[in-house]
């Protein structure tokens, strides 16, 4: 049995239920060996010349014409062994720093959708104002551990977008921030802003991670230009990088789960290897996004049994190479209904059983990632709060066992009025926010609103009540000044 450690508050969760198995140990070892052999015999396409040169410098076999990089098995394994099993991402509010690895669990909201939706303003392209709102909602939600680019701020010019969004992240939140890996200039600006917000020197910033980014491969078997730049620049700066192959079975990956997992592993290993070449010991996170597409329409499908199983197996693969790993909680549904809730929960359960250290997209993801939904955010947070409470050990002291109270009440009685109950009832149980325990009569009288309708009231109240966290005046001034200067200079365009 695993020993349970104390969980104190929600600042960092520990998951006693991780480490489940769906593959035998032999199959895990076989998948890993097959991936190493594939990298040696067939390799991966790498679009950025600098990345190929770095691979070559480390001893890889590079075909610059075909853009192909092949790593022999010993080299890949040697590079993997350099990646740390656990590390800490330092937040500007030290109590929000995150340990990544082991049985530590960090929950992150939706990241990346172009659209936003709520039941007041409808479904629409995301704006900077929406981005700000999601940062506010994330900041006030104790069970979420890091901010994300929850929605694309489409009203901000591309060259300035990373400046505005990083500024939002750093001033409306004191949680661990994310940065976009969209090319050299974007990364450099973002890291500099995060450094300024933390008030540390350039040298000190490089000694430990203060932020993280996510890299998606172009599955199958390709690392594109901005992704290579992101891996190189994040590793060089000592910041945390999630390497997430985009292996949707049946489309960008084989239709079989074994094949999709093999391809995921091949691509993740190559990306991790590059980071370790750039900086031995660079903090990396094994990303696993494997799910399937709907074979009738070709559309991605989330919250599927295949996605669940792939998550549990991915946890086994990440543990096999002893690197922290990231999963997600996602759904395909077009609205905040029973389908959306169930799919997200299936997906979340796969992540938790697999022992994921970071669960991305765990609040607000809708329509397969096309939409960040305010109501879904609230409903998902309700579930995450339930999950966080469910990870707590059960107090088993004599007072909790309540033998005297059971004796006192006697057969056929009730515990409502006992001193044992009265001393504890106010904090005994988790109280829901958007879920209701009204009976049918009360609920009907209150308008028969479903959970999604009630969630609209909740996010509006949360935004109304929001207070930005304190930030050091000098740090704030430095960030603002940097943004003004870089805006005046025209910012930095993403690369492709």
Residues 291-320 that bind a second copy (CB under 8 A): 292, 294-299, 301, 303-306, 308-309, 313
- Tell me: does residue 119 bind a second copy (CB under 8 A): no
Q: b/e per residue, 389-399, with b = 16+ CB within 10 A?
A: eebeeeeeeee
93 versus 334: smaller Cβ distance to a second copy: 334
DSSP 8-state symbol, 70: E
Nearer to a second copy, 202 or 295 (CB): 295
CB 479 within 8 A of CB 167: yes
| Binding of a second copy by 120 (CB under 8 A) | no
Under DSSP, the state recorded for 206 is T
Write out the binding residues for a second copy, residues 31-90 only, by CB under 8 A: 31, 34, 38, 42, 44-45, 67-68
3-class secondary-structure state, position 74: helix
- Would you say 177 or 303 has its CB closer to a second copy? 303
How far is residue 447's CA from residue 450's CA, in Å, rounded to a whole number? 9
Q: Is 393 in the site for a second copy (CB under 8 A)?
A: yes
In this chain, which of 160, 252, 268, 356 binds a second copy, going by CB under 8 A? 252
Q: Give, as one character, the DSSP assignment of residue 65.
A: T
Single residue of 184, 436, 478, 487 touching a second copy by CB under 8 A: 436
Q: How many helices (H) and strands (E) does the chain have?
A: 18, 20
From 92-100, 167-175, 180-188, 338-346, give the range in contact with a second copy by CB under 8 A.
338-346
Q: Residue 376: what are its φ and ψ, rounded to 5°?
A: -65, -35
Q: Does 478 bind a second copy (CB under 8 A)?
A: no
Report the residue number, 128 or 253, with the smaller CB distance to a second copy: 253
Give the three-class secondary structure for 287.
strand
Q: Does 402 bind a second copy (CB under 8 A)?
A: yes
CB of 414 to a second copy, least distance (A): 6
Among 25, 81, 204, 489, binds a second copy (CB under 8 A): 25
What 3-state class would DSSP assign to 115?
strand
Quick one: 484 exposed, middle or buried, by C-beta within 10 A (0-12, 13-18, 19+)? exposed
Sole binder of a second copy in the list 351, 371, 458, 479 (CB under 8 A): 371
C-beta of 169 vs 291, nearer to a second copy: 291
Q: Which of residues 168-207 bind a second copy (CB under 8 A)?
A: none
β-sheet bridge partners, residue 89? 98
Judge whether 96 and 56 are in contact, CB under 8 Å: no
Residue closer to a second copy (CB basis): 235 or 263: 263
């Amino acid at each position: 049995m695993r020993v349970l450690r104390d969980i104190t508050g929600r600042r960092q969760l520990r998951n006693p239920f991780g480490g489940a198995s769906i593959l035998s140990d032999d199959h895990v070892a076989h998948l890993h060996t097959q991936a190493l052999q594939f990298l040696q015999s067939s390799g991966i396409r790498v679009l950025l010349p600098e990345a190929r040169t770095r691979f070559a410098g480390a001893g890889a076999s590079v075909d610059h014409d075909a853009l192909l990089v092949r790593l022999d098995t010993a080299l890949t394994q040697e590079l993997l062994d350099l990646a740390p099993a656990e590390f800490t991402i330092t937040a500007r509010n030290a109590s929000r720093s995150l340990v990544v690895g082991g049985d530590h669990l960090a929950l992150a909201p939706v990241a990346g959708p172009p659209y936003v939706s709520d039941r007041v303003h409808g479904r629409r392209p995301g704006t900077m104002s929406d981005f700000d709102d999601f940062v506010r909602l994330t900041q006030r939600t104790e069970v979420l551990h890091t901010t994300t680019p929850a929605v694309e701020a489409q009203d901000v010019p591309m060259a300035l977008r990373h400046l505005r969004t990083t500024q939002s992240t750093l001033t409306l939140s004191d949680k661990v921030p994310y940065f976009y890996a969209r090319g050299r200039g974007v990364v450099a600006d973002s890291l500099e802003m995060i450094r300024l917000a933390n008030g540390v020197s350039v040298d000190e910033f490089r000694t430990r991670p203060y932020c993280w980014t996510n890299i998606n491969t172009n599955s199958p078997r390709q690392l594109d230009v901005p992704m290579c730049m992101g891996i190189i620049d994040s590793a060089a700066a000592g910041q945390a990088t999630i390497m997430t192959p985009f292996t949707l079975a049946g489309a960008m990956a084989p239709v079989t789960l074994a094949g999709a997992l093999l391809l995921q592993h091949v691509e993740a290993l190559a990306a991790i290897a590059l980071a370790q070449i750039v900086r031995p010991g660079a903090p990396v996170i094994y990303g696993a996004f494997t799910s399937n597409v709907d074979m009738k329409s070709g559309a991605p499908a989330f919250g599927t049994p295949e996605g669940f199983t792939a998550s549990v197996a991915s946890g086994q693969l990440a543990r096999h190479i002893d690197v922290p790993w990231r999963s997600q909680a996602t759904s395909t549904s077009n609205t905040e209904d029973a389908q959306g809730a169930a799919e997200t929960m299936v997906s979340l359960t796969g992540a938790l059983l697999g022992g994921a250290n970071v669960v991305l997209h765990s609040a607000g993801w809708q329509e397969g990632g096309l939409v960040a939904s305010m109501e879904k955010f609230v409903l998902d947070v309700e579930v995450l709060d339930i999950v966080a409470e469910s990870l707590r050990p059960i107090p088993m002291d004599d007072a909790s066992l309540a033998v005297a109270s059971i004796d006192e009440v006697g057969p056929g009685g009730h515990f409502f009025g006992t001193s044992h109950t009265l001393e504890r009832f106010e904090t005994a149980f988790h109280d829901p926010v958007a879920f209701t325990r009204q009976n049918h009569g009360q609920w009907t009288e209150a308008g028969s609103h479903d959970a999604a309708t009630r969630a609209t009231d909740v996010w509006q109240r949360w935004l109304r009540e929001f207070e930005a966290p304190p930030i050091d005046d000098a740090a704030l001034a430095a960030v603002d000044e940097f943004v003004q200067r870089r805006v005046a200079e025209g910012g930095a365009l993403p690369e492709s």
